[in-house]
Amino acid sequence: MNPREVAERLHENERKVLQALSGRGTATTEELSRLTGLARDAVEKASDWAATKGVVSFKEEVSQFFSLTDEGSVYAENGLPEQNLRKLLVHGPQEIAKLKQTFENLNIALAWMRRNGWADIQNGVMELTDEGKKVDDSPEKRLLRALDKPTPQSGEAFTEDETPVLEQMVKRKLVTKNEETERSVAITDFGRQVLPELEAAESVNVITQLTPEMLVNKSWRGASFQRYDVTLPAPSLSPGKRHFISQVIDYIRRFWVELGFKEMKGEYLELSFWNFDALYQPQDHPARDLADTFYMKTPYSGQLPDPKMVEQVKETHENGWTTGSLGWQYKWDPEVAARNCLRTHTTSLSVKQIAKLTPDDLPAKFFSCGRVFRNETIDWNHLAEFYQTDGIVIGEGVTFRDMKGYLKAYMEGLGVERFRFRPGYFPYTEMSMEAEVWIEERGEWMELFGAGMFRPEVVKPLIGIDVPVLAWGPGFDRLVMQSYKVNTIKELYTNDIGLLRRAKLWME
Amino acid sequence: MPVIVVNLEDLRELLGRDVSIEEFQDRLPMMGTSWEGVTEDGFHLEVFPNRPDLLSIEGLARAYASWTGARTGLRKYPVEKSDYKVVVDTKTQEVRPWFVTAVVKNVEFDDPLIRSIIQMQEKLHVTHGRRRRKVAIGLHSLEPIEFPVTYTTKPPEFKFRPLGERFEKDLTWILSEMKTGKEYAWTVEGFKEYPMILDKKGMVLSMPPIINGEYTRIDESTTELFIDVTGTDLKAITEVLNVICVTLADRGAEIHEVHNHYPDGTVLTTPNLEPWVMDLDNDYVNHTLGYEFTPQESARELEKMGHGTEINGNVIKVLIPSYRADIMHPIDLVEDIAIGYDYDNFEPEIPPISSEAGEDPLEVFSRGLRNFLVGLGLLEVVTFMMSNRDKLFHRMSLPEEPICETDNPKMEAYDSLRNRLLPNLMEILSTNKHHPYPQNLYEVDDVVVIDPSTETGARSRRRLAITLCHSSASFSEIKATMNTLLENLELEAEVVEGGWDCFIEGRRYTAMLGGEPLCWAGEIKPEVLEKWELEMPVAALEMDIDKLFKKIYLEK
């Protein structure tokens, strides 16, 4: 780019900096701030931009500052201990034992005397060496005095001869040394070529920001636009956005609807009857334990539905009723069934839906998508509530192979490549099955969700006839975690605003 | 569900075949178990609670040999006649009524068998036995026992020498001082007298379901056993006794019957290891599986699952082994055929069922709202439904009201269901102070409120909450947000001064639709912001979406 083009691209602040440098060539950012009237950070930013265009460069200068430590201040006043001892010895040898009683800082003094080779000790008597007799203490004294000021002293104040003494004092922790780096900006040769072009570029009326006024008074005509460096970074915005789980739920709904399923809805707070009994789970089944299920204090229990159906469910539990089953063979208690709980699976919606159907409504396909609850202690991998989506297909002639067909479609829809269906166990299904995915990294199968055909003991008491029902209830938290590279299930529900703002869109 | 540890060598020896670990890992899940990994003790396998017969390594070997075709069909387990007699005292009928027994001879207690029996007993106690209350098993050395044995009850001051103790102890001491006593005391809580099994001499075999007596201790030299199973459910204890007997029989032991005399005169002779019969219609099989098995083919698969079969035309007479506790309906036999044939071998198919499809209208409506709010620059959050009173009321400076509360929460912070969305949004603001502002959030989801008119006494309601949080968040901004939303729904609400206590007085309103409150809004009180440790103003609203939906969807 030639100087003229660069001149046109300079931002107003860059121009100010360049002009301020025209006389003196180099200035610190602080000085530039004073010269241009811009804030210090504006100067720094403008200098950075200008540097990328090659019109200025940076120089960094390191300055040293020295000041006395507490120990150094004491010696500045009283003299260095070894010097004091040396002066004492000038008058003749001294006994160490005696010095111990009278001389302050004797150990420090002795150490330095010995290191400097100023004295010999024989039979407890100390005597100056020839070296010790010649010592001149004036440079140290002068330095200590010079540093004994309230503010640190610049290194420039000391001569080259003094430097070794100064460094020695730094090592001895009598003096502290601080370094400050000052960045100064210098105009480059190219910058000097650009300088004369500035005025010309300015005189053609350069527009920085196009304003409504310019459009109204048409002052933009004949003007040129200040050229931007289009490669410079721009800040990120905070978008208004759907939560990623909410996006996934939309996707799952669409997925079911495209397969021809109708949505069923229901309550979170449910009778145990719908959550367990209607699913032929015996009343002493461990899944009904307080340890896993939230039971309600308020409202404690509710009203059982249609007495005829309730009676059928009761009979089925007790003796199989007319389902052809032996039943669980125990005494069924309506009070246990009337107890309210938080639904532990959305399968409760499926059986409630079946109870609403008549044989004329068949065949039918339903799905649900909603939260379920487990009485867990919440930690990184356990939540008390999470999402589940259930599907049922009910109709004469529906078979086990059809179930494999739907589940295969579901797995493929989710993009799972290698999967299998193995036998599983649920008290309310027969065949029961677990859908598993192959995890290549671990070299093993991982359970993804359970499925099965509702037992006749579930279906017949609810709808009055024995008709096959395919049912499955996948959770999808694992899938979302995998997709969003979230390692723990809790992060899905933390609502970290940073994560929500940058989480990728669910584009399926 | 119970997980058992299987020693690979033991299992191979029982199978008489050098099966690789890879084969087990691949195939056992297809037989109806769950592979849980390998440790130095062996592989870990989850057994489904309906198959207690698989809880021992002998049972696993029996099932695997059948399923892989090595030894199919019904296995015969003969029971020797005997005149062993036990008497069930009428006193037990009030507390722990059921008692079945067996005598087993020719037992060779080597390490693998001891390991297997201990593991099986332990797992049966936990699952099938519901931690020993429903079923408890006692294994005794037969040698010291003098018949008849009596199952009765004894008062708390009764003394005997429990297993592992040097001296006689009374029953109260056993329940309050011994480890197993303390662990299982709950199973006999409230009893005036405790169940007790004694022999003719009055020596104690066991205090079920707590602990055995030292009298019948088993050691490596024991070759003859007396087995008792007590409980509250005859079906369950019979299944457990059968499972244990066939396991020992698989190791070459001889099973002998015992006559259990009940107070009503009934005599139960146990164990009964004869199969029982269920008829299976082959059409039902094919109809359910979507397959065309001939009766012979179906029968072959049943034999792979250990059943005996006799074919009469289209009906298969199935002889179900005594140890299979899970068969209660022909559908269970259909599943056995599916497992026998292998789930993998069924071709998937999608039936041509056309049925009405579609989303719930409230969900469609909610999605419309969510997308509109995103257009206003709001960020959607999804929060927990479970909450607590402190969050819902105290921190919001709102008066307490009845809400849905759980009886047995593991965590107090999650003991209730939310009746408002707004507190959750405030919480999110308080945990995200390090992120740049403005933080303008919304949530469209359900709350649950008390409603005596429903089946349960509660009802879920769909709500919308919005919080605008930045240095100039104001009343007019939140009101404008509501107005914009309503305008776009072609609705107009009447704004009345006053509303929820979490808003500043004189800067809060209730918007009415058709004479009923639709929306509550205003600027959040500084004292509430302080409780959430927020140093940024918040303007907020909460709206009843059910009402909105009813107006838009149902009245048009």
Q: What is the pLDDT of residues A214-224, one digit of tens each?
A: 899 998 888 88
Per the CB < 8 Å rule, is B330 touching A324? yes
Please state, rounded to an integer, the average pLDDT across all residues of chain B.
95
Per the CB < 8 Å rule, is B353 touching A375? no
**Do A40 and A110 belong together in one domain?**
no
**Do A119 and A251 belong together in one domain?**
no
Give me the CATH code for the B3-67 domain, please: 3.30.56.10
Torsion, CA A227, CA A229, CA A230, CA A236, rounded to 10: -120
Say if residue A2's pLDDT is above 90.
Answer: no
Residue A300 distance to chain B (closest CA, Å): 8
Classify domain B276-343 at the CATH topology level: Phenylalanyl-tRNA Synthetase; Chain B, domain 1 (3.30.56)
Per the CB < 8 Å rule, is B455 touching A295? no
Token representation of residue A466 = 């024995």
Q: Which residues pair with B325 in a beta bridge?
A: none
Torsion, CA B292, CA B295, CA B301, CA B307, rounded to 10: 150
Give me the CATH code for the B361-554 domain, please: 3.30.930.10
The answer to whether A99 touches A107, Cβ cutoff 8 Å, is no
CATH for B79-270 (3.40.250.10, 3.10.20.600, 3.50.40.10, 1.20.120.420): 3.50.40.10
Read off the pLDDT of each residue in B189-203 and give the average, rounded to a whole number. Answer: 95
Cβ neighbours of A44 (radius 10 Å): 17
* Residue A174 belongs to some domain of the structure: no
Q: What CATH number is given to the structural domain containing A382? A: 3.30.930.10
**Do A41 and A99 belong together in one domain?**
no
Read off the pLDDT of each residue in B504-517 and give the average, rounded to a whole number. Answer: 95
**Do A199 and A307 belong together in one domain?**
no
Q: Chain A contacts of B367, Cβ < 8 Å?
A: 250
Say if residue A5's pLDDT is above 70.
Answer: yes
Q: Per the structure, how many domains does chain A have?
A: 3
Say if residue A128's pLDDT is above 90.
Answer: no
Say if residue B1's pLDDT is above 70.
Answer: yes
The answer to whether B338 touches A431, Cβ cutoff 8 Å, is yes
Query: d(Cα A469, Cα A402) in Å, to the nearest integer?
Result: 11
The answer to whether B498 touches B521, Cβ cutoff 8 Å, is no
- Spell out the domain ranges in chain B: 3-67, 79-270, 276-343, 361-554
Token representation of residue A352 = 């409630």
* Residue A381 belongs to some domain of the structure: yes
* Residue A321 belongs to some domain of the structure: yes
* Residue A235 belongs to some domain of the structure: no
Cβ neighbors of A122 (< 8 A, separation 6 or more) are none
* Residue A175 belongs to some domain of the structure: no
Q: Which of A145, A161, A177 is at the close of a domain?
A: A161
> Residue B51 carries which side chain, given as an amino acid letter?
R
pLDDT band at residue B556 under the 50/70/90 scheme: low
Confidence at residue A508, expressed as pLDDT on a 0 to 100 scale = 76
Token representation of residue B110 = 């080597």
Chain B interface, best mutation among A236, A237, A241, A243, by max B CB count within 10 A: A243
pLDDT band at residue A18 under the 50/70/90 scheme: confident
**Do A79 and A48 belong together in one domain?**
no
Please state, rounded to an integer, the average pLDDT across all residues of chain A.
88
Annotate A25-43 with DSSP letters as a single string: SEEEHHHHHHHH---HHHH
**Do A45 and A75 belong together in one domain?**
no
**Do A435 and A338 belong together in one domain?**
yes
Read off the pLDDT of each residue in B261-288 and give the average, rounded to a whole number. Answer: 96
The answer to whether A400 touches B288, Cβ cutoff 8 Å, is yes
Task: Count Cβ–Cβ pairs < 8 Å, chain A vs chain B.
Answer: 282
Among partner residues A294, A377, A497, which is closest to B379 by beta-carbon distance? A497
Placement of tokens 């089944």 in the chain:
A285
Say if residue A502's pLDDT is above 80.
Answer: yes
Residue A50 distance to chain B (closest CA, Å): 30
Q: Say whether B276-343 and B3-67 share the same fold.
A: yes
Per the CB < 8 Å rule, is B440 touching A445? no
* Residue A439 belongs to some domain of the structure: yes
Among partner residues B331, B378, B435, which is closest to A498 by beta-carbon distance? B435
**Do A106 and A204 belong together in one domain?**
no
Pick from A132-141, A443-452, B67-76, B218-227: least confident: A132-141
The answer to whether B457 touches B450, Cβ cutoff 8 Å, is yes
Query: d(Cα B202, Cα A401) in Å, to the nearest integer?
Result: 61
Q: What SS3 class is residue B86?
A: strand
**Do A112 and A18 belong together in one domain?**
no
**Do A51 and A96 belong together in one domain?**
no
Higher-confidence position of A199 and B89? B89
Read off the pLDDT of each residue in B381-389 and give the average, rounded to a whole number. Answer: 96
Q: What CATH number is given to the structural domain containing A151? A: 1.10.10
* Residue A8 belongs to some domain of the structure: yes
Say if residue B301's pLDDT is above 90.
Answer: yes
End-to-end CA gap in chain B: 52
Q: Chain B contacts of A264, Cβ < 8 Å?
A: 360
**Do A146 and A200 belong together in one domain?**
no
Tell which B residues from 420 to 459 touch A, by Cβ distance under 8 Å.
Answer: 428, 431-432, 435-436, 438-441, 446, 448, 450, 452, 454-459
Read off the pLDDT of each residue in B140-160 and give the average, rounded to a whole number. Answer: 96
Say if residue A108's pLDDT is above 70.
Answer: yes
Annotate A290-315 with DSSP letters as a single string: TTTS-BEEET-B---S-HHHHHHHHH
**Do A213 and A323 belong together in one domain?**
no
Q: What is the pLDDT of residues A41-96, one digit of tens each?
A: 888 888 888 898 899 998 887 888 888 888 888 888 888 888 888 888 888 888 88
Query: d(Cα B351, Cα A72) in Å, to the nearest integer?
Result: 95
Residue B252 distance to chain A (closest CA, Å): 31
Say if residue A247's pLDDT is above 80.
Answer: yes
Q: Which domain holds residue A47?
A: 3-55+188-225
